[in-house]
Amino acid sequence: MQWALAILTVVAYLTLPLGSASFEQQLLPTMLVGLAFTLLAIFGFRFVQGRSIWWAVAYVAVQLPIGFVLFSLSGAAVGSILLLVVLVSQSVLLLPLPAAAVVAAVIPLVHLGMDWQGGLREGLGTLGATTFTLVVTWLLVREQKARAQLAEANERLRGYATQAEELAVIQERNRLARDIHDGVGHHLTVVQMQLEAARAVIGTAEPERLDAMLATAQDQSGQALAEVRRSVAALREHRPSLPEALQALASEATEAGVPTELEVLGRPRAIRAEVDESLFRAAQEGLTNVRKHAGATSTTVVLDFSGEEQVRLEVRDDGRGLPATPGDGYGLTGLRERMANLGGRISLDPVGTTGATLTVVVPG
């Protein structure tokens, strides 16, 4: 806008020699006073803009009488009116809107020296021009401010999006760290314990006992490797659905020696990623403990979507049942903590004289 006003100022100055057909012009004084007005309008305006309101008031207070003198010397030339119109636009940029409106209303008074009919006609025309300039400049300023505010809002939104992305990355890292701790960490701990025990008795134990320890360590290391593969698969774009993941888990348990079936009740639906992962971990822990402790001949995993606001998972076996004083030997502590974070619950109950059922219910 500054460049547009500067160009308009120069064009108005160059038209000053054209004068007016009704009044005599003093050419040299006109061009000198016009040059002073033009220089102030270009360079003085830039100097004042952005400073305190008093600088703006002083600028307008100087330019307004110069414009009146120029109008008189130029013989009411059109160029002098154009320079005063430029002053109206600058007033909108420098002063509050009411003060700029006062400037626009004062400028038509340059016609007071004419006869009342001609002065009234010309004054009304000039008032219309200054009012139009006032409104258009104010609309342009408001649009510029709106664009600046929109750009600032977009910048804030980009910042919020970046923060949300970083938070999502942190949450995903925490989830993977928890999964690695609960899965791989558990299996590697068992491997370490078995290897330490084997080393402790390697010189005195029977070969069968050592072989059993090493077999357990080998089994646990295989499960740890499977955990790593699942974690890597979780980072890929496509992840299997919970029923598919549980079916794969049941197949692994069957291959490990405990025939396992999966039953899906209700219509499967999309659930939160953390709920999906927690149910998978619960089934994994339950099947691991059945294989290690229950002595079962068959196991059933039930995934129940029948509830509208919850999902239920059961791991049922026909093994030796619960001990007389059951503790957390089934790894219930970690599962309880995981489910508590989701607002769910977990229980381990006997089934008749043999067998046990691990039940997990979570909102979903």
**Per residue, what are the HEC states of 122-140?**
HHHHHHHHHHHHHHHHHHH
Cβ(304)–Cβ(266) below 8 Å: yes
Q: Residue 350 carries which side chain, given as an amino acid letter?
A: P
Q: Which stretch of DSSP H or E encloses residue 326?
A: none
239 Cβ contact partners less than 8 Å away, ≥ 6 residues apart = 233
Listed residue (86, 88, 91) closest to 49, CA to CA: 91
Six-digit token string for 346: 């977990």
User: Bigger pLDDT: 314 or 74?
Assistant: 314
pLDDT at 51: 87
What angle do the packed helices 207-235 and 184-201 form, to 10 degrees? 160
Cβ(138)–Cβ(94) below 8 Å: no
Range of weakest confidence among 26-30, 127-131, 184-188, 285-289: 184-188
Rounded to whole angstroms, the Cα distance separating 80 from 107 reads: 11
Would you say residue 131 has pLDDT above 60? yes
Q: Residue 148 CB: number of other CB atoms within 10 A? A: 10
Rounded to whole angstroms, the Cα distance separating 73 from 214 reads: 111
User: Bigger pLDDT: 185 or 276?
Assistant: 276
Cβ(48)–Cβ(18) below 8 Å: no
pLDDT at 237: 47
Would you say residue 238 has pLDDT above 60? no
Sole residue written with tokens 């993941």: 245
Rounded to whole angstroms, the Cα distance separating 118 from 35 reads: 28
Cα–Cα distances in angstroms (integers) from residue 30 to residues 64, 69, 107, 131, 227, in the given order = 15, 9, 18, 26, 91
Q: Which stretch of DSSP H or E encloses residue 52?
A: none
Q: Residue 171 CB: number of other CB atoms within 10 A? A: 12
Cβ(294)–Cβ(192) below 8 Å: no
Listed residue (82, 5, 84, 66) closest to 30, CA to CA: 66
Alpha-carbon dihedral sign for residues 302, 303, 306, 312 = positive
User: Bigger pLDDT: 101 or 292?
Assistant: 101
pLDDT at 58: 92
Rounded to whole angstroms, the Cα distance separating 198 from 200 reads: 5
**According to DSSP H, which parts of the chain are helical?**
2-14, 27-39, 45-48, 53-73, 78-94, 97-106, 116-182, 184-201, 207-235, 242-255, 273-289, 332-342
User: Bigger pLDDT: 225 or 253?
Assistant: 253
Q: Give tens-digit pLDDT for 215-236.
A: 777 777 877 777 776 666 655 5
Rounded to whole angstroms, the Cα distance separating 84 from 123 reads: 13
Cα–Cα distances in angstroms (integers) from residue 176 to residues 6, 179, 214, 318, in the given order = 63, 5, 29, 33
Would you say residue 327 has pLDDT above 70? no
Range of weakest confidence among 104-108, 148-152, 187-191, 217-221: 187-191
Reported confidence tier of residue 124, pLDDT bands at 50, 70, 90: confident
pLDDT at 302: 93
Q: Which stretch of DSSP H or E encloses residue 359?
A: strand 356-363
The full set of domain ranges for the chain reads 2-152, 183-239, 240-364
Q: Residue 64 carries which side chain, given as an amino acid letter?
A: L
Mean pLDDT of the chain: 82
Beta strands 260-265 and 299-304, pairing class: parallel
pLDDT at 318: 86
Reported confidence tier of residue 324, pLDDT bands at 50, 70, 90: low
Residues in a beta bridge with 345? 361
pLDDT at 197: 75
Across the range 181-204, mean pLDDT stands at 73
Q: Which fold has domain 240-364?
A: Heat Shock Protein 90 (3.30.565)
Cα–Cα distances in angstroms (integers) from residue 343 to residues 274, 312, 364, in the given order = 12, 13, 10
